[in-house]
Amino acid sequence: DGGITQSPKYLFRKEGQNVTLSCEQNLNHDAMYWYRQDPGQGLRLIYYSQIVNDFQKGDIAEGYSVSREKKESFPLTVTSAQKNPTAFYLCASSIGGKKGGELFFGEGSRLTVL
Amino acid sequence: LAKTTQPISMDSYEGQEVNITCSHNNIATNDYITWYQQFPSQGPRFIIQGYKTKVTNEVASLFIPADRKSSTLSLPRVSLSDTAVYYCLVGGPLHNTDKLIFGTGTRLQVFP
């Protein structure tokens, strides 16, 4: 089945550690996105990528890094510089460019910093 | 980029029709309007998308007035399973950035 796979679903980390969240899609979509969601809040854009080897900062990119070496993969690294990393992280993809806003989301990764 | 404004929350009862309105005063000519539904601890899922007038699918209708500065998601005969957060999203190829920003969403609670 086509879709977006995020892993791990749950992740615990100690303060000062970097962690990488995986996002893979087999929808052949050009654009991919990472959002962060805090309890009771909406989604905030961290990074997005319209094409391989290119990505742009969203509204809350500080403390995060991404790469887009392959069309189907867009991993997110939460670095030790991110002061409040405990959150629900959502990856999404879209065809890109033709119709705005039709996003396909993964099931999310919940990160807890101990 | 078009900013969206929605009511924070709404309550309804099973079997009623629910209308959620989203304001997007600075929508651009090429922008589409898309609505998503999100359940707790899940990713949002697409409900409906439109550009102007009315769009209907098997789960909802989307009404967009001529000036396109707002849109209304209509859910007919809601059930308990429609309790969720609903987001409207405005974006399109004109921006050429694919920087899609979500608003705060509307939390719909359906009661028996």
The beta-carbon neighbor of B89 closest among A98, A101, A104 is A101
The residue in chain A having the minimum alpha-carbon distance to the alpha carbon of residue B86 is A42
- SS3 state at B107: strand
Q: Please report, as a single letter, which amino acid is at residue A49.
A: S
pLDDT tens, N- to C-terminus, chain B (112 residues): 567 899 999 999 999 999 999 999 888 888 889 999 999 989 999 999 999 999 999 999 999 999 999 999 999 999 999 999 999 988 765 444 556 777 789 999 999 9
Asked if B58 reaches chain A (Cβ–Cβ under 8 Å), the answer is no
Other residues' Cβ atoms within 10 Å of the Cβ of residue A48: 26
- The tokens of A63 are what? 């403390």
- What integer pLDDT is reported at residue A89 of this predicted model? 97
- A6 burial level (CB within 10 Å; 0-12, 13-18, 19+): buried
pLDDT digits (tens, 9 = 90+) for A80-101: 888 899 999 999 998 865 555 5
CB B74 within 8 A of CB B56: no
Contact A53, A69 (CB under 8 A): yes
DSSP per-residue letters across A29-85: -SEEEEEEE-TT--EEEEEEEEETTEEEE-TT-TTEEE--SBTTB--EEE-TT-S--
Structure-token pair, residue B70? 């707002």
CA closest to B88 among chain A residues = A101
Distance between CA atoms of B84 and B78, rounded to whole angstroms?
11
pLDDT band at A107 (very low <50, low <70, confident <90, very high): very high
Q: CA–CA separation, B47 vs B60, rounded Å? A: 7
Nearest-angstrom CA–CA distance, B29 and B27: 7
Cβ-defined contact of B90 to A108 (cutoff 8 Å): no
- Burial track A15-45 (b if 16+ CB lie within 10 A, e otherwise): eeeebebebbbeeebbbbbbbbbeeeebbbb
pLDDT of residue A1: 63
Cβ contacts of B89 on chain A, cutoff 8 Å: 100-101, 103
Angstrom CA distances, A31 to A6, A18, A76, stand at 16, 25, 15
Q: Sorting pLDDT into bands at 50, 70 and 90, what band is A20? A: very high
Interface of B with A in 65-84 (CB under 8 A): none
Task: Report yes or no: A74 at the B interface, CB cutoff 8 Å.
Answer: no
pLDDT for the residue B94: 44
Q: Which of A48, A90, A108 sits opposite B99 (nearest CB)?
A: A48
pLDDT digits (tens, 9 = 90+) for A22-71: 999 999 998 899 999 998 888 898 999 988 999 999 889 999 999 999 99
Q: Do A101 and B91 touch (CB under 8 A)?
A: yes
Q: How far apart are CA B6 and CA A35, in angstroms?
A: 20
**B105/A contact by beta carbon, under 8 A:** yes
Q: What Cα–Cα distance (Å) separates residue B99 from each residue in B33, B61, B63, B94, B95?
A: 14, 26, 24, 11, 8
What token pair was written down for B78?
Answer: 């809601």
